[in-house]
């Protein structure tokens, strides 16, 4: 139903109406999920994102929502910082260390191993694993629900918040280190001359064939590119 509604709204050629419709859908599904099914507003908003993302206008909806997304991202990280109790690092350092070890060691290794088992080279698997060395936003939703249901204690919640802040701060450095390691290893073991892929300067790969992609295709064709 939602893709059908967005398609009809898009036919009006009104950018303001389309942006308003996406905002109403997101907030409406979030509130409806909380009121009808008794889930949290955050989980309802996540379901709203899945619903809008199923339509062919998902990219446009994401582009129109960039200003709101940036504002809410700032508020999200501020709220996470306000939840953090620095005393947890002193009172319960072991739970924080265990959660942090899972996030920045076990989780990246699992992701990298999965990518490698799917047939991708280490040059792709290692950076992908390093990119997962942080706590995602959805983890806070699961953590809040678990705390409300009594599945984790306040110590566990504080350990999750502390590990998230530390892992988010360390993630750029971990990812950069992984990329440098992969690049250094590739430079030390270059392919033999006969195994190196031939580069054809006249051949191009065009990703996307929307309005801009069609213009790029036409310009490349006029210049004799394949």
Per-residue pLDDT tens digits for 161-213: 888 888 888 989 998 888 888 877 766 665 565 555 667 778 899 998 888 88
User: What number of other Cβ atoms are within 10 A of residue 89's Cβ?
Assistant: 15
Contact 224, 202 (CB under 8 A): yes
The whole-angstrom separation of Cα 43 and Cα 61 is 19
Contact 204, 226 (CB under 8 A): yes
Most distant pair of Cα atoms in the chain: their distance: 68
Q: What is the dihedral of CA 150, 153, 156, 162, to 10 degrees?
A: 110
pTM for the structure as a whole: 0.59
Structure tokens of 45?
């908003």
Give the model's confidence band at 30: pLDDT under 50 very low, under 70 low, under 90 confident, else very high. confident
Give the model's confidence band at 29: pLDDT under 50 very low, under 70 low, under 90 confident, else very high. confident
Q: Considering the chain, what percentage of its residues have pLDDT values greater than 70?
A: 94
Q: What is the pLDDT of residue 188?
A: 65
- Is a pLDDT exceeding 60 seen at residue 214? yes
Q: What is the pLDDT of residue 195?
A: 58
Contact 107, 132 (CB under 8 A): yes
Contact 55, 2 (CB under 8 A): yes
pLDDT tens figures, 119-146: 888 888 899 999 998 887 778 778 878 8
Q: What is the pLDDT of residue 117?
A: 92
Q: How far is CA 193 from CA 35, 90, 185, 197, in A?
A: 65, 57, 17, 9
- Is a pLDDT exceeding 80 seen at residue 118? yes
């Amino acid at each position: 139903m939602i893709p059908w509604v967005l398609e009809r709204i898009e036919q009006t050629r009104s950018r303001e109406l389309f942006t308003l419709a996406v905002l109403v859908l997101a907030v409406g599904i979030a509130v409806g999920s909380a009121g009808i099914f008794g889930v949290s507003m955050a989980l309802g908003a996540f379901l709203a994102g899945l619903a809008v993302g199923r339509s062919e206008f998902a990219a446009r909806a994401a582009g129109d929502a960039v200003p709101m997304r940036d504002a809410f991202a700032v508020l999200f990280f501020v709220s996470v910082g306000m939840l953090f109790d620095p005393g947890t690092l002193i009172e319960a350092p072991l739970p924080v260390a265990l959660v942090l070890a899972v996030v920045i060691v076990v989780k990246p290794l699992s992701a990298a191993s999965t990518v490698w088992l799917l047939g991708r080279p280490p040059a792709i698997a290692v950076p992908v694993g390093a990119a997962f060395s942080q706590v995602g936003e959805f983890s806070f939703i699961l953590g809040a629900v678990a705390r409300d249901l009594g599945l984790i204690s306040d110590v566990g919640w504080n350990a999750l918040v502390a590990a998230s802040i530390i892992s988010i701060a360390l993630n750029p450095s971990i990812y950069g280190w992984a990329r440098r390691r992969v690049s250094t290893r590739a430079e030390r073991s270059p392919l033999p001359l006969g195994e190196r892929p031939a580069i054809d300067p006249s051949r191009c790969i065009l990703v996307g064939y929307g309005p801009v992609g069609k213009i790029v295709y036409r310009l490349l064709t006029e210049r004799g590119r394949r």
